Structures are given as structure tokens and as C-alpha cells.
Amino acid sequence: MFVRPKIIVGNWKMHKTIEEAQLYIEELEPLLVDVRSDVCLAVPFTCLGTAAKLVSDCARIRVGAQNMSEHEEGAWTGEISAHMIKEAGASFVILGHSERRSHFGESNAVVNTKLTLACRTGLQSIVCVGESLGDRNKNCQKDVIALQLSESLAGFPREKSASLVLAYEPVWAIGTGKNATPEDAQAVHSFCRQILENLWDKETAQKVSILYGGSVKPENAPLLLMQQDVDGLLVGGAALNAYTFSQIIHATLTIR
């Protein structure tokens, strides 16, 4: 059986100056000596270059961006291209985060365009999906996620699946302190894997990592990570403090 490595991603959102990023990484690195999992920091564009240089001799930590332009180059004032992100030292990019979807109108079609571009540029993509509270109350959680997945991944070739990570982030759990239960997360993750299997094949679907995000904390991380299809965590608020984030990362040491 293919063993998927655990991936823990800290999403800083619009937090931290270059100086703060430097202090954070200097604090985090020595806390990870025993860690074998893949630790990723999704930092603001302005910190990317500095953060990438700081982690360059630490094999455990990678840095990436939280968004990128759907366009390759041109007159798109204020946008940052996949190539620029890659050149700054990023190895991955988060696409379709619910804050991008709700505040900036990022549709599945846009996520799909970005995914293709990121892959062509050599960036791994973390594609986020997740239902709102309204969807959940209407019991259409699975329909929403199935549509987000099928439209966001449309036409993406299975041969490129190694450059894809999925993140299930229920919108009602983001920044609210209310996480999905480990059982609920497992059910949705296994549903997502089934969709990947239908889209591609079982073997390919087994290799794609699916992360859970939404109010992850040191206290709930171990049980979430113990679920068979929860291959890692996407952490917002609790990743802003290096020590707290390291506690979440250490939860990976207690499981398989």
C-alpha cells in the first residue's frame, strides 16, 4: 500500500512582515529536529524570497504562496505570476482558498486555470474545497464538494497528479474555533478520494494527499491526523505562533 507522507501547512494569510517572518523561522527550525513530515509555510508574497532563503538549508521546511495570478504575464496591475512566485523560491501555491472564493470571486474555473499554470511552472498546488454552513444545513455538502472538485480539476491529467494536494476546509470551521469532527473529516476525505478515483483511477487517487483545514489546534490535531484519509493539516490562526505550530507538527510523530 502506498503510504502518503504527512504534510502540515501553515497559512499565515495577511500576517507578518519580513522581520517577523525571519524571527518565526529562526524559532521554528530548532523545534523540528525529530520531525519527518513535510512542513510548509504559505507566506505573504513580500516574505517569500527571505523565507525561501532562510529555509534553504532546512530540508524539512518548504515555503509557498497563498495565491497567484491566473495570467502568465502582462498588463495585470497588482498581480503576481506563477513564474515570479517560483523564482522567489516557492515550491507550492494555495489555490481556491475559501477567502479567495468569497472575497475575491475566485470561481472553480479560475482555480482550474491557475492549477494548469502552476503545474506548468513547476509549482505544487494545494487546491482548497469546502462547503458553507448554508450548504451543510441544506445537506448538500457532498454536491458542493463534488462540483468544486470536478470543475477545479477539469482536464488536469492524471500523470501530473503528483503536483496536486487537496485541502478540505469547511467554510464554517475556518477561524471559528469549531473544527469538523475527525469522523466527519474522514467521511469527506474519503468522498474526495472516491471522486479522484472516478476521475482517474484507484492507484492515482491513493497517492494524492488530502489535508484538513479549519480551526486546527494542538489539541485536535492528533485525532484528525489519525484518520485514514487525513494526510495532513492546513492551519491558519494556530500557525501564526511558531511554538504552537510546532506542537501541531509534533502530532505527526504520534501516528503511523
Which residues would be at the binding site for ligand PGA (CB under 6 A)?
11, 169, 174-175, 213-216, 234-238
**Cβ atoms of 170 and 131 closer than 8 Å:** yes
Say which of 97, 106, 131, 250 is annotated catalytic.
Answer: 97
**Cβ atoms of 9 and 233 closer than 8 Å:** yes
Residue 145 burial (CB < 10 Å; 0-12/13-18/19+)? Answer: buried
Residue whose CB is nearest to ligand PGA in the complex, by number: 236
Active site residue 29: no
Least distance from ligand PGA to the Cβ atom of residue 26, Å: 23
CA distance 139 to 151: 20
Least distance from ligand PGA to the Cβ atom of residue 75, Å: 31
**CA neighbor of 114 nearest in space, from 127, 130, 104, 102:** 127
Least distance from ligand PGA to the Cβ atom of residue 95, Å: 12
Active site residue 73: no
Least distance from ligand PGA to the Cβ atom of residue 157, Å: 27
Say which of 29, 99, 106, 169 is annotated catalytic.
Answer: 169
Q: Which is nearer to ligand PGA, 29 or 169 (CB)?
A: 169
Catalytic residues: 97, 169
